[in-house]
Structure 1
Amino acid sequence: MTNVSLYPAIRKILSSLFSVQTGLDDDAAKNAYRRAFAADPVLRTEVVRLFQDGNVDWRELLCNSNYEVGDFDSDEEARRCIHELLVEELSD
């Protein structure tokens, strides 16, 4: 599995907006993410690279010693969650 620390902008978004520790409601987190995505070319590049990378530890990206977005039973479930948060959210 790839060291997901290669995605610092994504980790920052997950920890600061979508982590259970932040206490942001869903709408506030989604709106902040849309603004960040529009303003940050590094974040946009990382999101594209993330879904092209075949070696991501999707579960660790969502639940680790620094933050927790959710704890999933499989990498496929975690990948779907990240896709919903980082990609599908932009099409709403």
Structure 2
Amino acid sequence: MLIDTPSARLLLQRGQTSRLSGAAHAHLASAAGTLWITIDHDRRDIVLEPGQGFDVDSAEDVLVCALGGPAVLDLQPRMAALAAA
């Protein structure tokens, strides 16, 4: 699936994954549920609980997976996230 928009909200079912290409400098946040995030060629594993966010600091692809149940991922440019805070 190609999503060509600066902001998006994705509903992921338990165990469903989504690969985000071109997510460099994006802000990822959990609007609901628990999300597992990993970045290609990065040793970190990031887990977001509802209300938590993470700024992507790499140009590599990002893989997002819903853990334990459905989850909602909010994706927006980092600058938009900073302005809203």
Which structure has greater helix proportion?
A: 1
TM-score by length of 1: 0.29
After TM superposition, the score normalised by the length of structure 2 is 0.31
